[in-house]
Amino acid sequence: MAAEAGTEGYPSSNLTWKILHDARKGNYAVGAYNCYNDDGILATIRAAERKKSPAIIQLFPWTLHFQGPEFVRYAVARAHAATVPVAVHLDHCMEKADVELALTLPLDSIMVDASGLDPEMNIKYCREIAQRATKLGITVEAEMGRIEGSEDGLKDLEMEGLLTDPDFARDFVEKTGVQFLAPSFGNVHGPYPPGGAEKYWDLDRLAAISKAVGPGVPIVLHGTHPVSDELFHKAIECGVVKINLNRNVRDDYTAFVNLNWSKNELTRLKEKAVEVYTASIERAMDMLGSSNKISLG
């Protein structure tokens, strides 16, 4: 049975659910670290274990197509073998075929991205998937409103129509039964226009959305590059619990590989690169406040 808005009725055996609700109660956020290969998976797990932090390994449908379902099963097996809670989430499932495949895999959670549909169709589709996923022990994140990097040039009036309405947010989660909500409050995927996130984020709207859906529905932040530590902290104060991180933690790793690929044997390059990646994630965990939240004793 799907959890209702404002409740905590979903089984705590679901790692994403447990990780995010513990974070909500503890007033910190947990990073969902985008992983494109085994290096990212290793780095996330090692950082989580070193920092005694919960973490979420975040994959994309690209992984399903390029590396196949077996890679997803591998990621889940590695994550669930960690000494701290590490969940695996599949982000931005926009194609129905990807959603169907995801529901056959041992994922902890998926994001159903039907935000390109009209509001009523979005609700109908998300409700259908949430009902099926919940029976399989998979939690569901959904997006309300839509702002993409390609829409940087939108006028304020046009942008307003794509933002999440706090009054509608509560209605959305109640009608769909989704467990996590990714609202649109001025955040964009990809680089921000001049003025950056500080100019475009409507934190009052974000806080109102969080209040409207209640503590039972953790808020997810998309569009985080580049964002200052101070702005991340303000978002957490507004109720954000899951923060998606991509280039924030990946750029040092890719730069290291680019500079050192010809100077090291592949095995040594991989060892060094994963350590650079791990250090970036450790810094993010400290910044989000998730470090030292897991007792190993």
Residue 9 lies in a domain: no
Q: Give the per-residue pLDDT at 215.
A: 93
- Name the residue range of residue 33's domain: 15-288
- In this structure, what CATH number is given to the domain that contains residue 174? 3.20.20.70
Residue 6 lies in a domain: no
Q: Give the per-residue pLDDT at 149.
A: 54
Residue 5 lies in a domain: no
The residue with greater pLDDT, 294 or 160, is 294
- Would the pLDDT of 15 be above 60? yes
Residue 27 lies in a domain: yes
CA distance 24 to 73: 28
Q: Give the per-residue pLDDT at 297.
A: 56
pTM of the model: 0.92
Q: Which of 22, 38, 39, 91 is catalytic?
A: 91
pLDDT above 90: percentage of residues in the chain: 78
Look up 108 and say whether it is catalytic: no
- Would the pLDDT of 153 be above 60? no
Total domain count, the chain? 1
Residue 87 lies in a domain: yes
Residue 136 lies in a domain: yes
Residue 51 lies in a domain: yes
pLDDT tens-digit profile of 190-219?
788 888 889 989 999 999 999 999 999 999
